[in-house]
Chain A
């Protein structure tokens, strides 16, 4: 059975570059969430999609971060002008509907040199 998948599993980039992280949710799940887990911390909420629209983006740290979900399935988290402080594991989760159990992907480990 297909769970939440995330690509790439690891991404190394240089400071100032642009990166895109992809999330494939469980088929049929309408809600999709992005979290960021820094070293020694728990996952921190970034943004929540219900369908195609971002229902809550209050966790995005600044305007360098942006996420889309154009067809209500796959989502892409985009980070412009990356900084060393962006280094973290970026986790995606999906749920059948908003508020139901969230299933997490394995994450993308982003390293900004």
Chain B
């Protein structure tokens, strides 16, 4: 039973345009959400996070939006650059617990020249 769902296995976006990656979750206990980026043969690297008390967090070209009522979050990358081509994992955790992060299956983003 997937608690964090990324329904798009892949996404292609023209360089310079906006990339929007979507994520849904089912567990209402989650109160902290993260996006990780992964290149081949490397471990995931942390990109951006948001706590459930916010609905938006921005860091440079990356913005994460959280809609708690819909249990949905999205990552916006603008403008998209070639180096953004990677697999993006949406993840969630419960803040007062210090152990597991629950990951989605990932979305492979291709930035087209």
How many chain A residues touch B (CB < 8 A): the figure is: 28
> Does B103 make an interface contact (CB < 8 A)?
yes
Enumerate chain A residues within 8 angstroms of B41, measured Cβ to Cβ.
Answer: 106
Enumerate chain A residues within 8 angstroms of B104, measured Cβ to Cβ.
Answer: 42
How many A-B residue contacts, CB cutoff 8 Å? 56
Query: CB < 8 Å: which of B89, B97, B101, B105 contacts A102?
Result: B101
> Does B98 make an interface contact (CB < 8 A)?
yes
Interface of B is mostly: loop
Enumerate chain A residues within 8 angstroms of B99, measured Cβ to Cβ.
Answer: 33, 45, 48, 55-56, 98
Q: How far is the CA of A98 from the CA of B96 in the complex (A)?
A: 10
Enumerate chain B residues within 8 angstroms of A35, measured Cβ to Cβ.
Answer: 103
* B residues in contact (CB < 8 Å) with A: 4, 6, 36, 41-46, 89, 91, 95, 97-106
* A residues in contact (CB < 8 Å) with B: 4, 31, 33, 35, 40-45, 48, 50, 55-56, 58-59, 91, 93, 97-99, 101-107
